[in-house]
A and B are shown apart, each in its own frame.
Chain A
């Protein structure tokens, strides 16, 4: 019996030690090759080949690639990357494997089109992806919406955007705002309200965490831009009336009879600099804001966090 116990103890100890050692080694290997598995997609000659090779398990494989795409993007985003060259191939493969995976098209629309660090900066690819999606899911109004969105937001091609919204509104069970947006495009393309409508629509039409978060941030930034525009306008009026700049925000508020000290979406008061600029207190909290930023401000931290 003694023998058995000795062997058991040694074997048990070895088991624990080697288990720990292999886990450590694995961690090191992961650090060495953070996206090696993903880079393989660059070497795949075509998604069609992969589909055939998947022997009927394309749905599962699509899910795996989809997950990789989301993680790839989320992970790089965390690090404020300069390029996302694998995003399109990953989404391309995913959608070829499972053409009905609508979430993948929506993801592409949100994150392929914008310029880095928010996205891959490939709006034409996004268009390509959306058209492929529409081809395979002609009755899904969300895809037309996303297509129009890319034209509007990233390519500033309001005519094509209107066209996309119009096509989408014809689809049975389309959300009513598509018709509205089609009309809006024609007349009021550049306005705050339109942009707000767009981002709200995006928020509503997607279930994907990252997309909704993105839309929310844009809405907040819109709020800031709008507020700052109006406040800056108020400062200008003050200047025309009094011939000088307001001493501080309270003076501006009382003299222009504003409803109260203006607060940004986070509840912090806007500042008024001695030079008459309206600024937001914590610029880092509003990554997409284009106004109310101190001069020479560059975004430091991640554009948005992955929860």
Chain B
């Protein structure tokens, strides 16, 4: 059972890599190096700030885009192209397929982020010529970004299990935007009354809470991150992704494949 999940995961990873996903790293590297060099020349005393802000934001955005576009294809494309038929005619359980796809996609993103992290630290070294202790905070920011990816992957997979690729992309992207303002949504819920209050509160808690993962600006200003927050965020990401995946499994289990 575990072996099959692992095989599906590694196959997904291989497909993604061959699909030239990792080429995005080139675009990223170009962007970051360009910024680092430009900033180094202008020398406006906030080079480090710019590199960290730009670098981390790029890591986040590139990753989200990849997660959405590959994630939505994971199931819908397989159904469309009927590659799924030959997989499911084997002793592979449907849930193993979903879970395997998730790990494959997540793995791709982690590897991608790893290389991007090297890029960010290189650019940082270029502009400030040394590392200080506070730079370790960047690792925390990157860790949070990876947690965000896990959530987005699980959502992309969820939508992909019942919806067309285009709609899935729209849903996933919308949830990303809304999730970035999740705290405001909960604030709105607090101000609403009666039935709509319940509705909005429900929605506010269901939406992925990306605002808590976004520590980029505070880290750029070298504000520390509470250890408790790291722990809580990890648990939250795990629970949320598990929830989305459970839903995906449930839906996929009952789906008639045309």
Residues of A within 8 A of B (CB): 3-4, 7-8, 11-12, 14-15, 18-19, 21-23, 25-26, 28-30, 32-33, 36-37, 39-40, 43-44, 64, 67-68, 71
Contact = CB atoms under 8 A, between A and B. Distances in A.
B110 interface: no
A18 B250 contact: no
Given A7-B93, A19-B206, A33-B212, 17 more contacts: A4-B253, A4-B254, A8-B250, A12-B246, A15-B243, A21-B235, A21-B239, A21-B243, A22-B240, A28-B232, A29-B209, A29-B236, A37-B184, A43-B217, A64-B184, A67-B184, A67-B187
Contact of B187 (A15, A21, A28, A68): A68
- Of B205, B239, B247, most A-chain CB atoms within 10 Å: B239
Interface stretch (B66-74, B100-108, B218-226): B218-226
Interface in B58-93: 93
Contacts of A19: 206, 243
Contact of A25 (B184, B235, B250, B254): B235
Contact of A40 (B205, B218, B228, B236): B218
Contacts of B93: 3, 7
Given A7-B93, A64-B181, A12 B250 contact: yes
A95 B165 CA distance: 40
B11 interface: no
B128 interface: no
B142 to A, nearest CB: 18
B95 A25 contact: no
A15 B246 contact: yes
Contacts of A71: 187, 190-191
Contacts, number: 88
Contact of B221 (A7, A12, A43, A64): A43
B232 A40 contact: no
Given A7-B249, A25-B239, A40 B217 contact: yes
Interface of chain B, helix or strand or loop or mixed? helix
A44 B205 CA distance: 28
Contact of A33 (B95, B229, B235): B229
Given A30-B186, A32-B228, A23 B205 contact: yes
B35 interface: no
Nearest to B251: A11
Given A7-B93, A8-B253, A43-B220, A32 B209 contact: no
Interface in B181-214: 181, 183-184, 186-188, 190-191, 205-206, 209, 211-212
A70 to B, nearest CB: 8
Top-4 shortest CB links A-B: A18-B243, A22-B239, A14-B246, A15-B246
B239 A29 contact: no
B94 interface: yes
Contacts of B242: 14, 18
Contacts of B211: 37
B205 A26 contact: yes
Contact of B232 (A29, A37, A39, A67): A29
A11 B253 contact: yes
